[in-house]
Amino acid sequence: MTIRRPPVRLSECKLCQAPIVFARLDTGKAIPLNPIPDQRGNVAVHMSGGNLYGFVVTRDRLPGPTDRRMVPHYATCEKQRTTPTKPARQPDEPLF
């Protein structure tokens, strides 16, 4: 009997506890993704050796026939922290 391991290891978002997977981008950084492929996603991934590798889709770099498009989890996380906005400049404040 052979034991089959899942194609990708699922993790859990620390903020919302939703399932996520990590892909290693061509920049070397790991990015959390929603685990279900979505044609609206801007990250193209492929499997290699049981790991996900990918890149950000641009006009100059489109997914290949074996790539799957996925959505970064931070785009859909219900509890994602937002960056505090810088307060507007006061009218009497100097520009420089």
Pair type for strands 51-56 and 19-25:
parallel
88 contacts: CB under 8 Å, gap ≥ 6: none
- Percentage of the chain beyond pLDDT 90 is 66
Domain limits, the chain: 11-75
Task: Summarize pLDDT for 54-93 with one digit per residue, the tens.
Answer: 999 999 999 999 999 999 999 999 887 555 555 555 555 5
pTM for this model (two decimals): 0.73
Q: Would you say the C-alpha torsion 56, 58, 61, 64 has a positive or negative sign? A: positive
